[in-house]
Structures are given as C-alpha cells and as structure tokens.
Amino acid sequence: MSELTDNLAGKFIVLDGPDGSGKSTQVAMLADWLAEKGLTVTQTRDPGGTEIGDKIRTILLDRKHTAMAIGCEILLYMASRTQLMSEVIGPALSRSECVLCDRWVSSTVAYQVADQTATVKEVMDIYDLALRKISPDLTVILDIPAERGLSRLVGDPDRMEAKGVAFHRKVRQLFLQQAKSSPSRFAIIDACGTAHEVNQQLQDCITNWGFVS
C-alpha cells in the first residue's frame, strides 16, 4: 500500500459545511479517487445512512414539522448518528476502511446553535453521552457564502434550507468558528469553484494532512 492509503486506513473523515457547498458531490468524488488509490472506502451521510436513520431524516427535514422543539431536533440528530455509528461507521473502521461521511456533529453545532436556543456546550454534552466522545479524525468544512450556497439549491427547500439567508449566515460563521477553534481536527476549503477545482483542493488537503496513526 502507498503512504496515502496507509495513512487513511481506519480513518473517519467528515465533509461538512453550509447548504449548497457541494458536500454530497465531493464525498462521491473523493471516494472514487481514494478507491483508485487502492483504499477500501465506506460512504455514508448524516442524518440517515441506516433504515432507522433514514426515517429520522425524513422527520427532521419535513417542512410540515415547524413545531419541532430544539431539544427534540438535537436528540433526533443524535439518535440517527448513534445508529449510524453502531451499524456502519464503527464496523467499517474496525475493518480498517476509510469512512467518508456527509455531515456530522459539526452540523448540529452550526444549525441548532444558530437558532440561539442551544449552546455549543449543550450540543457537545449530548454528543459525548450518545457517541462516547468518538470524534472524526478530520472534518473538512466546504466554505461558501450563504447567498451563493442557497442559490445553488434545486427543488423545494427542506425544513433547514428554508430558514432564510440571515439564519444561514449564522450557520456559516459557526462552521468557521469550529474549524478555527480546533485546527488539529478541522480544515477549511473554499467551495466556490467548480466541482473539479474543489475536489483538487480536497485531494491536496487529504494527502497533506498530518493524520495520527
């Protein structure tokens, strides 16, 4: 195996960021690139990724659920995440696969704290209880201004996407604050370019990141 595949075997990598930043596209492109390098990759998404998680995702993103309390919202995200870790992520890591996940707890910190009814500490206390403090080896924030990201969306917006530009500006700032407060675990990539340009930045980031074995 190459140094790259050795470094990434058994690593948990998250791509996160504001709506419209291209996370799903970049997870798929990155997985293809790593597979070409000979690495076994598991792709997944949060919330969702399991039968139970996908049902929770439907509840969370349904625009009819405007009465959902912030505590209920946070706990549902954590429930989906816990199931995903149990069924998919944990087993894949134990097989020394590289796990690529579209969103993780960094999204809960950004979106639910942006509502100003929960604090970062409260979110992370629940996360630590539910996930036993298991953290991604690297979270890459695909950064894009709120207006530009929202303009990329197609179809009817889901419950989170429909919250308006002012809300999504707060979300972006909370993503950036997380990255700046934990530079050993987060990287920031400019997601305003083409999918190919962003993916090249992502490949460079992954290749040069100082993963700890």
96-137 pLDDT tens trace? 999 999 999 999 999 999 988 899 999 999 999 999 999 999
117 within domain boundaries? yes
Joined tokens for residue 43: 């792709």
213 within domain boundaries? no
Given a cut of 70, whether residue 92 has pLDDT beyond it is: yes
pTM: 0.96
62 within domain boundaries? yes
15 within domain boundaries? yes
Q: Which positions ≥6 away from 123 have C-beta within 8 Å? A: 74, 105, 108, 109, 112, 113
Q: What is the pLDDT of residue 101?
A: 98
Q: What is the pLDDT of residue 212?
A: 66
CATH number, domain of 121, equals: 3.40.50.300
Count the domains in the chain: 1
Joined tokens for residue 39: 């690495």
**DSSP secondary structure of 182-212:** -TTTEEEEE--S-HHHHHHHHHHHHHH----
